[in-house]
Amino acid sequence: MRPTRIFPLGENAVTVEFGNEMSEPLNDAANNLSAYFETHRFPGFVEAVPAIASATIFYDLIAVRKSFLEFKTAFEAIKQLVEDATEHLADTPPVNNRIVQVPVSFDAENALDLEFIAENSGLTKSKVIEIFLSKTYRVYMLGFLPGFAYMGVVDERIAVPRKSSPRLIVPKGSVGIAGQQTGIYPNESPGGWQIIGKTDLDLMTPDRDSPCLFQPGDSVRFLSNKL
């Protein structure tokens, strides 16, 4: 897929945008481009960070300038590398086909906003849970907090706006909904997502190279721990 825009994020990073929506093809393009640069490192490469519909390549300006003397700026050099890479990646299938299963408790003490979500959607609580569990979600991005996965797409029948005033404390493992996104709080933190349940799964691992349970592009199935 061809980028819609390539622009500097400061003088040490370039953002490559494929669009402005949460969709699997755009997210695949972002993940594939990031994976490409992680495996085809150029001199001065620091890291590639995929987001929902874009990827950002961080680099050491001096090292890039030294290695790509034919370009007037490091930005131009990286832009060229990106264009070559996206051409090369034209129709590559997604690199990640991991499936992660997440057991969730929907008990009243954990499902802090289930009542509200049900009211908001005009459905019963059990119907909300059924709809929530019926889908496989994709990790579109990790951000906000270390290991916090932005997942989608939540069925629009149970989509719900963020809380107008964020909770000061959302318990660790809480599973929330914000609009058509769902996510899990890896640690206790303030937050405004509507909490539908809670998992006991640890989202952070002691592994320094892969410190989180989730990776960009993972498929996620929520399971009721009552079943």
Partner 1 sequence: MSLLIQKEGILTTVQGRGNYRLQRFGINPGGAMDRTAARLANLLVGNAQPELVIEMHFPAAEIVFEHSCVFALGGADFRASLNGNPIENWSCLFAERSSVLKFEKKAGGNRCYLAVKGGFDVAADRFENRRLKKGDRIALKIPLKEEKWLGKRRVSTSMLPVYSSFPTVRILEGGEINYLSDVDRQALTEENFVVTNDSNRMGFRLKGPKFKPLQTTEMVSSAVSFGTIQLLPDGHLIVLMADHQTSGGYPRIANVISIDLPLLAQLAANDKVAFELIGIDEAERVTTQFEQDVERLRIGCGFGRYW
Q: Which residues bind partner 1 (CB under 8 A)?
A: 5, 7-13, 15, 17, 20-22, 34, 46-54, 56, 58, 61-62, 65, 72-75, 141-148, 150, 210-212, 215-216
* CA distances in angstroms from 22 to 69, 115, 124, 151, listed in the order given: 38, 27, 28, 10
Number of Cβ within a 10 Å radius of residue 14: 23
Any idea which residue has 């539908």 for tokens?
196
CB of 66 to partner 1, least distance (A): 10
CA pair distance 50, 36, nearest whole angstrom: 11
Residue 158 Cβ vs partner 1, minimum distance, rounded to whole Å: 20
For 161, list phi and psi in degrees, rounded to 5: -70, 160
Q: Is 56 or 199 the residue whose CB approaches partner 1 more closely?
A: 56
Q: Would you say 197 or 217 has its CB closer to partner 1? A: 217
Nearest-approach distance from CB 43 to partner 1, in angstroms: 15
Question: Smallest gap, in angstroms, from Cβ of residue 102 to partner 1?
Answer: 17
> Least distance in Å: CB of 4 to partner 1?
11
Q: Which is nearer to partner 1, 21 or 130 (CB)?
A: 21
Comparing CB distances to partner 1, the nearer of 15 and 194 is 15
Given the complex with partner 1, which of 77 and 129 has the nearer CB atom?
A: 77
Sole residue written with tokens 């997502």:
193
Sheet holding 136-142, edge to edge: 99-104, 219-224, 136-142, 149-152, 181-184, 174-178, 194-198
